[in-house]
A and B are shown apart, each in its own frame.
Chain A
């Protein structure tokens, strides 16, 4: 197995578009690294560079500490599952699985053994004589995984492998991929734009935006301590609420959402001394939807704008009623347990757990 390193990697396409900028990432041996980010942020590009399908513009790619920029894709021994699977349509499933083994010039007996082993592992033994077009989407997906796994690659790349499947199948195969990856211990880079997939699958997650790495860490770490507002809003469903805040020296309070909530500065300063630099500066505050509840202090009057009921819980969209003029009020969302009791247009009292308050500079970097 292997470690993978991106060292100051840049990728500029011939048409001048910069897909990746100064990308640094170390994927540990046997780790499942999930690259996540919105469409067009350079996730696929990162995989294609590692696979050798596109050349790196600047920087270095290393596998097991050895520079591979110049080695051809055939020599890197990296397997990849494509979003549309890219199975060979004119070959049976057996031939598809056999193809990489034949390219490795393995003897016939070994090829047969590996195909049987892989097909058994993925539960596609009955499909071996079929052609790709005679398979369902989920079956194709498995065959694509099989073709990648059968050669025992050093690194396993997956580019949105579940995006063509329906919700249920996606959930099932997701957990299968997770357990398979743990069992085989293959270093894996998994690309997705779906934050749920990222949170559930990744040993670590790397969040990208416009070709730049935003943050990399364990899922819980990213969720609890996002490095910036982008990561904060990207992870979680719905993402973190971000709204304006202002700390007032005279009253020693932090005014949130136009003064709807006011909390004493003292405990915050004790928790994050660096906050002292930002007193009397505009700030951004962040609260996860689940941080809200009707009980704890500080409580503020909020106006209900809409409610989405999911049966066991509800998403309440509201605006805090502060001193700000109506036009500048920000809509926030709270996740409250239980069935819907509020009415739209009603105003209720809502508070939050101030231990869960995040603070960011005005340009979005986390404070503390």
Chain B
């Protein structure tokens, strides 16, 4: 940190942000940690007790919660890379100075501004069972009739991929816009220099675009990862976590536990676990990112 980053003025200037952070982020988190150490249940006649790590022991032995953890991981491992690559490809396409590009930008960004719940409802219709469901019809068409109609959202194998598809459709636009901004910040002279130095278009991508986009990509991947861990809306609307926990997620389990079963203590424990997982991943990602600094 440079010298001017310290001193009372700096503190004063950052005070509003700090107060907000304390009030709306740190305080609720500490409260969640505290609650997760109790047996708090809404409307329970039992007295409030300090139970230590009992809630954590319990949720880690809860098969539904373990399912949720695995689902979340699968979701992150699929959605983050696929969505990032897609967004990068789309951004590169839109970065060409073509005529109708402004319209495409609007088109690709549109899913982002739709409310998630609306998107989910639309996709429930798309995934409708029977041969008349649009997705079934499409798959039948492109497989020349080899596809037998399935009920995606009630199928243990297909429910999670269906939700992944929805999320990718919804989230790619945002990533694309961020990446596009990153692409446009790259000086055209660098590409020209690389061209003259003998680089073809693939080499320009590899040696100029990617390294120049590095910080943008790290940001985008980090944000998408965190959003992926918070997966809730689509699950709530499309599958309710089913069938047989095939699509349940940590957030979904936490909400279920806290508000459906009114077990505030265990719900709080679940969110704390999620927080720790996200924190761990963020640290890991940062470490990887800083090692990759010398992109050759």
Binding site for B on A (CB under 8 A): 51-53, 73-74, 78-80, 82, 84, 86-91, 95, 99-100, 103-104, 147, 151
The answer to whether A100 touches B214, judged by C-beta atoms less than 8 angstroms apart, is: no
Extra 13 A-B pairs, beta carbons < 8 Å, given A86-B190, A99-B197: A53-B195, A74-B198, A74-B199, A79-B196, A79-B197, A86-B189, A86-B193, A88-B193, A90-B214, A103-B197, A103-B198, A103-B199, A151-B197
Given contacts A95-B296, A99-B207, A86 and B192 within 8 Å (CB-CB): yes
Q: Is B61 an interface residue (CB 8 A)?
A: no
Q: Is the CB of A88 within 8 A of B207?
A: yes
Q: Could you tell me which residues of chain B, from 166 to 221, have a CB within 8 Å of some CB in chain A?
A: 187, 189-190, 192-200, 203, 207-208, 211-212, 214
Option from A51, A87, A88 in Cβ contact (under 8 Å) with B196: A51
In the bound complex, CA of A147 to CA of B190 (Å): 13
Q: How far is the CA of A78 from the CA of B187 in the complex (A)?
A: 21
Does chain A have a CB within 8 A of B106? no
- Give A222 Cβ to nearest chain B Cβ, in Å: 30
Contact with A along B147-171 (1 / 0, CB 8 A): 0000000000000000000000000
Q: Which residues of B contact A78 (CB under 8 A)?
A: 196
- Identify the closest chain A residue to B190 (Cβ): A86
Instruction: Decide yes or no whether B295 CB sits under 8 A from chain A.
Output: yes
A-B contacts, 14 of them at CB < 8 A, read A52-B195, A73-B196, A74-B200, A78-B196, A82-B189, A86-B189, A88-B190, A88-B193, A88-B194, A89-B212, A91-B211, A100-B197, A103-B199, A104-B198
- The majority secondary structure among interface residues of chain B is helix
A88 touching B192, Cβ below 8 Å: no
- Name which residue of chain A comes closest to B208, CB basis: A88
A99: chain B residues at CB < 8 Å are: 194, 197, 199, 207
A79 to B196, CA, bound (A): 6
Q: How far is the CA of A80 from the CA of B189 in the complex (A)?
A: 11
CB atoms of A82 and B193 under 8 A apart: yes
User: Which residues of A have CB within 8 Å of B187?
Assistant: 86
**Chain B residues bordering chain A, tally (CB within 8 A):** 20
Determine the distance from Cα of A103 to Cα of B202 in the docked complex, in whole angstroms: 11
Tell me the bound Cα distance from A80 to B192 in angstroms: 10
Q: Is the CB of A80 within 8 A of B295?
A: no
Task: Using A103-B199, A103-B203, A147-B197 as known contacts, say yes or no to A82 and B211 having CB atoms under 8 A apart.
Answer: no
**Contact call A82/B207, Cβ cutoff below 8 A:** no
Q: State in angstroms the CA–CA spacing of A53 and B204 once bound together.
A: 14
Provide the bound-state CA to CA distance between A90 and B187, in Å.
13
How many angstroms between the C-alpha atoms of A89 and B194 in the bound complex? 12
Query: Which residues of the other chain, B, contact A151 by a CB distance below 8 angstroms?
Result: 197-198
Q: Is the pair A100, B198 in contact by a Cβ cutoff of 8 Å? A: yes
B211 / chain A contacts, CB cutoff of 8 Å: 88, 90-91
- How far, in whole Å, are A88 and B296 apart by their CA atoms in the complex? 12
Inter-chain contact A53/B212, CB cutoff 8 Å = no
Verify B195–A73 contact, CB threshold 8 A. yes
What is the distance, in angstroms, from A88's C-beta to the closest C-beta of chain B? Answer: 7
In the A-B complex, the 9 residue pairs with the closest CB atoms: A103-B198, A86-B193, A100-B197, A86-B189, A90-B211, A74-B198, A73-B195, A80-B196, A103-B199
Q: Which residues of B contact A88 (CB under 8 A)?
A: 190, 193-194, 207-208, 211
Write the chain B residue with the least CB distance to A54. Answer: B192
Given contacts A74-B200, A99-B207, A147-B197, is CB(A90)–CB(B212) below 8 Å? yes
B101 CB, min distance to chain A CBs, angstroms? 16
Instruction: Report B-chain residues with C-beta under 8 Å of the C-beta of A103.
Output: 197-199, 203
Are A53 and B208 within 8 A (Cβ)? no
Q: Which A residues are in CB contact (< 8 Å) with B192? A: 53, 82, 86
Q: Which residues of B contact A52 (CB under 8 A)?
A: 195-196
CA separation between A137 and B193, bound complex, in Å? 18
A80–B200 CA distance with the chains assembled, in angstroms: 17
B280 vs chain A, min Cβ distance (A): 28
CB distance from B31 to the nearest CB of A (A): 44
